[in-house]
Structures are given as C-alpha cells and as structure tokens.
Chain A
Amino acid sequence: MTSLAEKPTTVRTADARLLELRGLGVDYGVGTKAARAVDGVNLTIHEGEILGLAGESGCGKTTIANAVMQLLRPPARITDGSILFQGENLLGKSTEELRRFRWRNVSMVLQSAMNALNPVMRVGDQFVDAMRAHEKIDRKRALVRTGELLELVGIDRRRADAYPHELSGGMRQRVIIAMALALRPELIIMDEPTTALDVVVQREILQQIDALKRDFGFAVLFVTHDLSLLLEFADRIAIMYAGEIVELAPADRLGANPQHPYTQGLLDSFPPLTGPLTRLQGIPGSPPDLRDPPSGCRFNPRCPHCLPDRAALYARQTTERPRLRVIEPGHEVACHLVAEGAA
C-alpha cells in the first residue's frame, strides 16, 4: 500500500478494474503429456463493459471462463498467475468463500444453459432455490422477485409455474439469463450463450442483454467463436489463439484495422451480407496440438507472412515468442511483423 501508483480504490468510474487476470496459466494433465490450454494470459475487464473473447475451438477461451468461476477440475489446473476480482485474488479462497462469490459477484450463462434447468422442477422453484442459497429471503418474496426477473427478460411472470420442457429453447435461455441476474452480480460470464439458437432469437436475446446491461451496469465476458457477432456487440475484443491472447482492441478498431495475421484471417472467414463479394481464403491448416505447440510464434505454420526468404524475420518468427505490445492506446498485438512495423 505504499506505492504511489496505487489507484484509489474508492473511485468507481466506468474504467474501474473489475476482474484482472495476471499471467494466468492452465494445464490439462501433468508432466510431458500436459497440454497448456492457457498460457500467460493478461486480461482486464472493467466495470460495465462487454469484453468479447473470440477464437476457435480449443484455443482456451472456455478454459478462461471456467478458471474465473473456479470451476476447473482435474486434469485441468491453474499452474501460474492470479485472478483478481475487485483486487482480491480468487486463487486460494476457501470453498465456502467461493460458493458465496459465485452467483453473487459473478454468474455464468453457458451454451447449453437451456439444458441446465432441472427438468422435474418448476422454473420458479429453481429461482427460489438459487436465491435462498445466497441470501435470507422467504419463499414468497423470492417468488415475487422471480416474476420481476422473468419480466425483465420478456417472459410472462406466470411462466414461473412452468416446467422447463414447456418452454422453447430461446425462452429457456432467457430464463437462465434472468437467473444469472437474480443476485445482481457485477460480472456475467457468457460462454456461447446464443450459439444454439436461431438468428432471430439470438438477435432478440443480445438486444435484451444490452438493454439490461445499461439498466444494471454489470460487465460481461462474452466468449464466442462468432467474431462477426462480437464486432457488433462488444466494447473490446480479445482474440485468442493456441492458449494466448494475440490481439486486443476496441471492437470498432479491431474490425477496421486488424493487425495480427490470425485476426485478419478470422475476419476473412466471414462472408459479408452486404457489399461486394470476393473469394475469401479463410486460414489454411488447423490449430496446433497444445501438447507440443510450434516454437516461436504459435501461428507461424499457418501464417501467410512467415516465409523463409526473409531469413532474419523468419528466424525470429520460428524461435522467439512474440509478446503483446501496445501499438496504440488500447490496442495490443503479439506479432513480430507488427513490432517491425512491416504489417
């Protein structure tokens, strides 16, 4: 507490840091067969912002979400770093402390969340259970609050009497979002919350999340493979590849001026709905095996700018790991090309 650089903790502006990952490392398995799913990730989520985390399957995005919730189970384990929530490290907290932290401070909405409801319990009772596990509230008041929560997400309050199978997939997903809001958490982690839904329903739910966020001021960590969705929806976007964050920027800037070849390739994988059509290339090859990642830049085997004829650069690309560096305020990239000013 002696540091002059220490930020005053009483200030609660939109820029206040809510969650900070510092050098987070997660391994699956141990020894030589261990796969490093998350490798040295630094990431900050500010109060009230929507941070998008995008990447392909197996890049570690869901592992990060689970690490924040402290839901990782062996063979997964956190090997390095810390997870600070409002300045407090979550690692090393007791089971009881974590139990109180989950849902009250951070709640989670999963892709298959619509299947997370108990099929033999009425929706309302599931809300009551969740609320009473965390605070002293009698059943009657909890049910009233359930009705209010359901109406927030556009569901008739009488539906609290319904069983999950009586609701459509989209409605169940809304119920889950309402539950995630029940204890007014500061952060909601959403892991592919709309991937299983049709586009029209997806759009409705995203608009609802956006409106609720304005009213309640929670922050969202939005994990998805659908970068085109994030460009519209998120405030900032982090792009993950093979366990690392390779680019981080405000959404509009990332869409307009992507710097990392992987980000460029991802953006080049979404055909446009309007404007001229050209043949897209996507990204050749497939993501590396994390038990034995390529040396140097992990993207180098797939990178169109990694060519042996530029010997000096090629040597760096294949032996030295690029670190995230700030190229403009708020925009960070981990790429040797960018560091050389050649991109």
Chain B
Amino acid sequence: MTAPAPLEVRSLTKRFAVGNALRQAHVHAVDDVSFELRPGRVTALVGESGSGKSTVARLLARLHEATSGAVLFQGSDVLGVHGRRDVLHYRSQVQMIFQDPFGSLNPVKTVRHHVERPLRIHRIVPSSQVEERVYELLRTVGLVPPEDVAAKYPHELSGGQRQRVAIARALAVEPKVVLADEPISMLDVSIRIGILNLMLRLKEERDIAFLYITHDLASARYVADDILVMYAGQVVESGPIEEVLSAPLHPYTRLLLSAAPDPATHLHAKRIEVRKGRASAAVDPPDGCRFVTRCPLAVDVCSHVTPALVEASPQHAARCHVTAPAPSD
C-alpha cells in the first residue's frame, strides 16, 4: 500500500504582487500547501472560487512559478528545473485537463491531430504505430468508432466528447500524474457521471495519480480517495474523504457540507448559520485564522495565532485551534 508518491508537494507558496512600487502588497494565493499524490488514488482539492485551488494545479503544471516551497517528482525537485528537455520530460509525466472543453481544443484541427501531436512530440511510439495508438487511445476514452471520431473537428462533437478528446490527449504521453481542473463543471448533468467513471477506470487500470479539483463535494466523494479542503489559500482540512465528510473537523468544511445540495435533506433542515465573508485569498492577511470572522466556534486565540495543520487522528488533519488543537496548546 505504501507505493512511492510520484508527486510530493512541500510548503508550496505563491504570492502575486499587487499595488505599485510605493505600496507593495501581496495576495497570498497559495500558502504553505503540502500533500502527496499516489498512484491509483484520486485526491480531491475542494474550495470556493478564489480559494487558490486552480493556482495549485497551475503551479504543479509549471504554468506559474512558485514563490517558495518544493514539488518533488519521483524524488527530485522540479521547480528549479529550467532546461527545455527536463521541462518537457516533466510535462510528459504530469498532464493537465482543463475545465473548458470548448477552449482547450484547436477548432481548425481534427481530433486525430490533437491526440497524435503529443505522441510525436514526446516520441512515445514510432511513426509507423502512431495511427494505431491514436485509435487505441480514443477507444480507451469511449470514443467509438475511433476511425470516424479521429476525422472530426471539435465543433462536430458534444461537450462531453470534447472533454474525452482532451483526456485522450492527456493520456497519450502515458502520464503518471493527471491534474484535472473542474473537468465536469461545464458539462451537462447526464454526461458528467460518464467522465467521472472514466477517471475511476483510468485510476484503476493505469495506476494514474489524479488531482481532482472541484467545488462540488458530491462528485469529489464519488471519485476521490482523499480530500484537501482549501480556504483563502490554505489547506484547512485533509484526510481520507469518507472520514472527512462524515466527521469534518474544520468549521469551514462543515459549512461547505451544510451548503451543498443533497436530495436527501431539505432546505428547511437545520443549516449552519455563518456570517458572510469570502473564501478568496487575502492581500497580506494578518496573523490568525483566516476563517475567524465567519466562524461560529472562534475563541480568543483564533484572531492572533495562525493555526497549524494538526493531525487529529491518523491522516486526518485540520487547521483549527478549537477542533484540532496543537498538542502543546
């Protein structure tokens, strides 16, 4: 069970500079985030808009430069790597799927082109086998008959089919890690499950380590093994997903759970009352818990001391002075 983590994230931090030369300030978009992605496991990264979850994915895909922290891929730090070849190698192992299947495909190129390109660039198979491999990939993601689909242009496909093309393209390079940033949120309800089932199958058959970024707790529960909950740039709770969702520690996780629609409950069911506020990252936040102004459990210490991520039970950690106090408190 203790397979080595292909991707290990340590104290990853990203600050975006705002303001001008006289008044420098920084948005703490991602603050001290650590986690591991393991083969054959889906890790859900959940949070509201602006909480920093997409920035994490972009840092991992090296679309942004991190301010500090480390990303270890099979043991070696990738953030310091700048050589074209090394970056190419890393990118071939860590692939990304985006939210918008309409924007991520080139409208004037066929499906074949999209899936074939990574095969050629990364020299995955000899030229003579490229065509065969394209069909195989399309079959894997459920696009049949592959000969017909390969000849189509993106506008001839539905949203769900396009997202499957994007997934086939990501799989072409045989990645160890796939970062999926809200892959179903723009799709129609009835085809979302198909994409989630595809992710589950790929995780099982290909032992891929998935990072599934979403704001939807129910779909996270459906596909993920582990969960990270982000609030204002920090991970506020992490652990095995069933445990976190059935016994949430952080008041923000509780709030998210009580706000999510669940056909089993009713609108008038007792919901957590919370003061209004924003989950988005703050400009130079003061010390203290970032949820304090909205928290129903807040005590004195919460407004002065930033809580650490404390393991309250094996693997289940939270950043809260009240529900997960540090042993020395």
Where the two chains meet, the residues of A that have a C-beta atom closer than 8 Å to any C-beta of B are: 56-57, 154, 168, 198-200, 202-204, 206-207, 210, 225-229, 231-233, 255, 265-275, 277, 279-284, 286-287
Contacts and interface: CB of A to CB of B under 8 A. Distances in A.
Contacts of B200: 279
Nearest to B242: A277
A204 B276 contact: yes
Contact of B191 (A198, A229, A231, A286): A286
B154 interface: no
B30 to A, nearest CB: 18
Given A273-B218, A286-B158, A226 B193 contact: no
A227 B263 CA distance: 9
Given A266-B190, A270-B218, A199 B265 contact: no
Interface in B5-57: 48-49
Given A280-B193, A282-B194, A286-B158, A229 B261 contact: yes
A266 B189 contact: yes
B263 A56 contact: no
Contacts of B196: 271
B192 A199 contact: no
A232 to B, nearest CB: 5
Nearest to B245: A273
Contacts of B188: 56-57, 225, 286-287
B189 A200 contact: no
Interface string B256-273: 111111111111000100
27 contacts: A198-B49, A200-B255, A203-B258, A225-B188, A226-B189, A227-B189, A231-B261, A231-B263, A232-B263, A232-B266, A255-B263, A265-B190, A267-B263, A269-B193, A270-B189, A271-B193, A271-B222, A272-B221, A273-B218, A273-B221, A273-B264, A279-B197, A280-B197, A282-B193, A282-B194, A286-B160, A287-B188
A271 B261 CA distance: 11
Contacts of A286: 158, 160-161, 188, 191
Given A198-B279, A232-B266, A279-B197, A273 B190 contact: no
Nearest to B51: A198
A283 B190 contact: yes
Contact of B271 (A203, A231, A277): A203
Nearest to A265: B190
10 closest cross-chain pairs (CB), A and B: A282-B193, A271-B222, A203-B259, A283-B190, A198-B48, A273-B262, A231-B263, A228-B261, A56-B188, A200-B259
A199 B193 CA distance: 20
Interface residues of B, number: 41
Contacts of B219: 271
A199 B259 contact: yes
A233 B48 contact: no
Interface string B146-188: 0000000000001011000000000000000000000000001
Contacts of B261: 199, 226, 228-229, 231-232
Contacts of B209: none
B196 to A, nearest CB: 8
Contacts of A265: 190
Contacts of B216: 199
Interface of B: 48-49, 158, 160-161, 188-194, 196-197, 200, 215-219, 221-222, 245, 255-267, 271, 274, 276, 278-279
Contacts of A268: 193
A199 B276 CA distance: 13
A211 B45 CA distance: 33
B263 A228 contact: yes
A273 B217 contact: yes
B158 A271 contact: no
A8 B290 CA distance: 59
Given A270-B189, A271-B222, A282-B190, A199 B267 contact: no
Contacts of A283: 190-191
A7 to B, nearest CB: 31
B260 A199 contact: yes
Contact of A271 (B218, B255, B256, B274): B218
Contacts of B266: 232
Nearest to A58: B188
Given A228-B263, A273-B260, 8 more contacts: A204-B276, A227-B189, A228-B261, A269-B189, A270-B189, A282-B190, A282-B197, A286-B188
A337 B160 CA distance: 29
A232 B217 contact: no
A203 to B, nearest CB: 4
Nearest to A234: B267
A233 B268 CA distance: 9
A281 B255 CA distance: 29
A286 B158 CA distance: 8
Contacts of A229: 261
B267 A273 contact: no
Contacts of B259: 199-200, 202-203
A285 to B, nearest CB: 9
Contacts of A280: 193, 197, 222
A233 to B, nearest CB: 5
Given A226-B261, A279-B197, A232 B256 contact: no
A57 B187 CA distance: 9
A287 B188 CA distance: 10
A277 B220 CA distance: 12
Most A CB contacts (10 A, CB to CB) among B48, B161, B192, B261 go to B261
Contact of A199 (B48, B158, B245, B263): B48
Nearest to B294: A200
Nearest to B195: A282
A215 to B, nearest CB: 16
A274 B262 contact: yes
Contacts of A225: 188-189
